[in-house]
Amino acid sequence: MNAATVRSRYSSLSISLHWVMLILLVAVYACMELRSYYPKGSDFREGLKMWHFMLGLSVLLLVVIRIIARLTATCPPIVPEPPAWQTLLAKLTHLALYGFMIGMPIAGWIILSASGKAIPFFGMDLPALVGPDKALANQVKEVHEAVATIGYFLVGLHAVAALYHHYVVKDDTLRRMMPGPR
């Protein structure tokens, strides 16, 4: 492959999915953070919880599409090429982010299933993944909440690394994923 045929940016699909995922993750977190301002059992609090579930499951759906897009498209090289340790760290961080975007919605789905609750998804009720089991629901909920806290740091690390590469290293890491004209 010659230099003229090497892509300098991700595909439009990958770029769109990346930024839509960010918006969804912000909305998922916002729903759970904002619910604490409303009384337990109130319609608005319950609505925020329902949106948290549905948006979280949307993350799961889109991350599957995103993984397929990533596996079937070429990844544009970073110019200039970063040191091997940075490339390894980036790969590990991306792996952790993908694990987070897959594991958290599945954990939420298990929590609802084990709690004996409906699993709402935009007008549909999804099937339970496990039977009712309050102890399991509580255990998975504790893990879900702990990993949610870690998620803030993962997303933050990802953003800081992109900004570091853009403003300090001055490579094209961030520009490869920016929306807009080619």
Query: Confidence band (pLDDT; 50, 70, 90) for 182?
Result: low
pLDDT at 74: 87
pLDDT digit string (tens) for 161-170?
999 999 999 9
What are the residue boundaries of the structural domains of the chain, listed by start?
A: 12-177
Query: Confidence band (pLDDT; 50, 70, 90) for 180?
Result: confident
Architecture of the domain whose range is 12-177: Up-down Bundle (1.20)
* One-letter identity of residue 166: H
Task: Give the pTM.
Answer: 0.90
Q: How far apart are CA 82 and CA 174, in angstroms?
A: 13
In what helix (H) or strand (E) does residue 112 lie, and over which residues does it extend?
A: helix 84-114
Above pLDDT 70, what percent of the chain? 96
Average pLDDT over residues 150-176: 95
